[in-house]
Structures are given as structure tokens and as C-alpha cells.
Amino acid sequence: MLRLSLFLILSILCLLQLSAQEKVEINEIIVLGNERSKEQVILRELSFKRGDSISLNDFEELKAKSTQTLTNTSLFNFIEISYSPRAEGQIIVVVKVTERWYIWPGFVFSLAETNFNSWWQNKDFDRINYGLFVQDMNFRGRREKVTLEFQNGWKRKIGINYEIPGINKKRTLGVGIKMFYANNREINYGSANNERLFFKNEEFIQEEFSFEGKLELRPRLFNRHRLAFGLNTVIIDDIINTYNTSYLPENRNRSQYFYLNYGFKREKRDNIGYPLKGYVFDASIDQEGLGLIHEDDIMMTKGLVTFNLHNHLGGRWYYAQSLKGKYTFYDSKNVPYYFQRGLGYSSAFIRGYELYVIDGQHYAAYKSNIKYQLIKKQTVDLNFGIANKFDKFHYSVFLNAFGDAGYVVDNINDAVNPLANNLQYTYGLGLDLVTYYDIVVRFEGSINRQGEPGFYIHFKNPI
């Protein structure tokens, strides 16, 4: 009797294994919940298509990849992919999405600082940008992005940006165009003691105009090539040169140049808003000045590389690390200040140095953290009754410990900026709140190499 029972169990397991490996044909793909998004936009992100013959084991892997690419479009709050049998050897795949709210008319409110914490140190309300904008993240339901911006305050700006990710039938070729005009009454003309220096005037002292067109090739789901060509113009008041003779090339008050940029990106993260697994590799080379405008042209080449890796260690534990580097090639000893950015700007920073900038021509930065998921992803039905774009709310909380290090090479102003040409490092603890619409709020306490403790708040993913 025991032998018979063992035989039956083994037989069932073999049949299940055979069923999982047996090929089935995807007879139909049904998309649900796409009130605005075109069906072809969603189908483009799938790792399978109608007519494919796959095993059910392979389908689970393809389903995970498809969920990942759909998530990273930032078009949907929730994604569910399932299948059901239709006829012998055939299945129907159902892709159900919950769309986000795409059109955001509203107010511009941003800080003219490197981050929230550097602004909070002085609470200077003159360094606030405000205005109006209209943004459509899914224009015409084709994942096209349109932004119109009218900004006042510390920096007056008017701009437009239009991106079309797919202009051919296979949606592998995209185009984009953007332009803006801006002027300032106050500018950052240099740095000393690793803090930015400003000059303010009642009249406008800097004007900028920029125009750019780009092509983007996406032959595979996870790979992107981009090529951009543009023209930049910068005009400053003569008084700026009395504060910094190297603000623009050769002590000029005007710089106009064409530029060419090529970039490659391989995106394999599970969620670009707050990744827990996967990696991203992003490399670009930027040629500023093409020799087309002889009198005012600059000739400078910059290379930038970023690699982020995210691992699930098991259970609720995760680990992430990031390596970012920049190198500048310039045919003169002095790189103009307007064109050089070291650590402390945008995403190029190390935690614990939020109140500083480390200007320089080249840099390398390493960031790492280990995190524990204190609260697993929870979904709450809010039932606002206004729009289903907000009815489902999800959140999770992570506790993390981190350690960062960075090195900036400055061959120009290192005498007045002591953090350059020295290894800087920091460590600390943080608490991250993650919710829908890629909203991240981070509370972090850190101690840097100088022994300075700090508590900081951030609103985006650190790695």
C-alpha cells in the first residue's frame, strides 16, 4: 500500500512537471483598465506577444519582466497579469492595469538650492521659484510627455518640453524637443569653504536660452540609446567678471555653443521609483562646443558613468550600492565655473554633505545601504469616489543603514575648497516612506568625516 501511494505521488509530480514544461500558444492578449492609454503602448512593454509558444514555467518569468517594464513607464499604479486556458494547447493572457492621473496643472514651487536641507539652513524665501505649469504624462494616450512651464521668483523661466517615445510601428524610435528662456537677478558665481557664493542685483544679470532635439532608439525592452543635439546661449552682466574672471570662458560675458550628447542606458530595476532588485547602467559622453561658432565657442568633453545594483538578501532584507564617476576634458587649465559641477548637485552627492558643494572637474562617488522592510507593502482602499486613479493607496516603510564615500579632483580652486582632493566619507541611519506615484520621503541622520552630525530630509530614492 505504501509503495502504491509513493508511486501515485511521483506520477502526479511528473505529470505536473510535464505540464509546466509543455508548450502552449498565446492565442489572445486582453488589456483591461486602460481608459486613456492606447493598447499598443501596453503591448510594447510585454516580453511576449500573441502567437508565441512558451512553457508555463517560462511564462512566469516573462510575466515578471513585463510587470517590471510596465511599472517603469510610470503610467500605472497597479498591474496584474494572468492567464486562463482557452482550448487545448492555448491560453488567453489578461493584462489589467490601474492608470495614474496624468494631467497635472498646478503651481511651480521649487527651491533654488542643491537640496531642501541647504535651503532650510538659511530659510531664504528669495531663493524660491514659483509659477504655473501644465504637464501631461500620457498625452494622446501614447505615453507622450508634454510640459509647459511659467516660472517666477529666484529664476524667471519659460519652457516647453515634448517627448514622443514611439514614432514607428514597432515603437522602437522616439524623438523629443525642448527649449527654454531664463533670466536671473541672483547667480551662484563660485564657491569658497565648499559653500556656494552668490551675487544679487536689482537688475537681471544673467540670461540663458537653450534649444535641444533628440532621438532615442530602444531596440530591446531594457536598452536605450539616445542622441541629442542642441544650442545653448549664456549672457552675463560685466559685473560678474569682477567676482569671478573664469565664470565664462576667457573672461567673456557671453558664451554660445552647440553641443552633442550620446548616452546608453540598460534598465533592469524592478521599480525606478524605489528599486529593490535589479540594476541600471547609464553612460554618456557630452561634447560642448563643436567648432561651429568660432568666436564664442567652448570646447569641452565630459564623460559620465553610473552603475546601481540592488539585491534581495532574503526575507525582508535588501542591499544596494551605487558607483558614479565623471571626467572632464578641457583644452585649458581653467574650466569655466559655469560648466563645472562636482559633488553636491542633483543626484551627484554623498549623504552627510547636504550643506556643502565640492566643485571640481572630475569625481567618483560610492554609495551603499542595507535596508530592512519594517512594514511590508500595504494597500488601502480610500474610496474617494472622485477618480479610481487615487482610490487605491499603497505604502511601505524601510529602516536602513548606509555608508557613502566620494572624491573630487579640483585643479583650480582647491585652496579655498578644502573638501576637494581629499577622500570624504559618511555613515548613518535612515527611515524611508514609499508610496504611490513614486513618492518617497526619507529621514536620515548621519555623521561625516569631519565628525559633523546632521539630520536631513529627502524626497527621492538615494540609489
Instruction: Identify the CATH number of the domain in which residue 67 sits.
Output: 3.10.20.310
pLDDT of residue 115: 55
The backbone torsions φ and ψ at residue 111, rounded to the nearest 5 degrees and listed phi first, read -105, 135
| Distance set, CA 52 to CA 27, 44, 163 (Å) | 8, 15, 31
Do 154 and 95 share a domain, yes or no? no
Of 323, 352, 364, nearest to 428 (Cα)? Answer: 352
Do 29 and 162 share a domain, yes or no? no
Do 32 and 117 share a domain, yes or no? no
Report residue 300 CA to chain centroid gap: 25
For residue 244, is it within any domain? yes
Q: How far apart are CA 147 and CA 104, in angstroms?
A: 9
Decide if 382 contacts 388 (C-beta within 8 A). Answer: no
Do 138 and 251 share a domain, yes or no? yes
Do 329 and 435 share a domain, yes or no? yes
For residue 12, is it within any domain? no
The pairing of beta strand 23-32 with beta strand 90-99: parallel
For residue 302, is it within any domain? yes
Do 94 and 107 share a domain, yes or no? no
Mapping DSSP onto H, E and C, the string for the chain reads: CHHHHHHHHHHHHHHHHHHHHCEEEEEEEEEECCCCCCHHHHHHCCCCCCCCEEEHHHHHHHHHHHHHHHHCCCCEEEEEEEEEECCCCEEEEEEEEEECCCEEEEEEEEECCCCHHHHHHHCCHHHEEEEEEEEEEEECCCCEEEEEEEEEECEEEEEEEEEECCCCCCCCEEEEEEEEEEEECEEEEEEECCEEEEEECCCCCEEEEEEEEEEEEEEECCEEEEEEEEEEEEEECCCHHHHCCCCCHHHCCEEEEEEEEEEEEEECCCCCCCCCCEEEEEEEEEEECCCCCCCCCCCEEEEEEEEEEEEEEECCEEEEEEEEEEEEEECCCCCCHHHCCCECECCECCCCCCCCCECCCEEEEEEEEEEEEEEEEEEEECCCCCCHHHHEEEEEEEEEEEEEEEEEECCCCCCCCCCCCCCEEEEEEEEEEEECCCEEEEEEEEEECCCCEEEEEECCCCC
Q: Please give the torsion angle defined by the CA atoms of residues 196, 199, 202 and 204, in that order, rounded to the nearest 10 degrees.
A: -80
Domain count, the chain: 2
- 444: how many CB neighbours lie within 10 A of its CB? 23
| Domain end position, chosen among 47, 76, 99 | 99
Do 131 and 87 share a domain, yes or no? no
pLDDT of residue 228: 98
- What is the domain extent for residue 394? 103-458
Do 71 and 122 share a domain, yes or no? no
The set of cell numbers assigned to 314 is 532574503
Do 272 and 365 share a domain, yes or no? yes
Q: List the chain pLDDT tens, one digit each, 463 residues.
A: 444 354 345 434 443 443 556 889 999 999 999 999 999 999 999 999 999 999 888 899 999 999 999 999 999 989 999 999 888 889 999 999 999 988 876 565 555 555 556 555 665 556 566 677 788 999 999 999 999 988 776 678 899 999 999 999 889 999 999 999 999 888 899 999 999 998 988 888 999 999 999 999 999 999 999 999 999 999 999 999 999 998 998 889 999 999 999 999 999 999 999 999 999 999 999 999 998 877 657 889 999 999 999 999 999 999 999 999 999 998 776 789 999 889 998 889 999 999 899 999 999 999 999 999 999 988 887 776 555 666 778 899 999 999 999 999 998 887 899 999 999 999 999 999 999 888 899 999 999 999 999 999 998 888 8
For residue 254, is it within any domain? yes
The set of cell numbers assigned to 67 is 510587470
Do 268 and 155 share a domain, yes or no? yes
Of 102, 96, 72, nearest to 389 (Cα)? Answer: 102
| Domain end position, chosen among 54, 78, 99 | 99
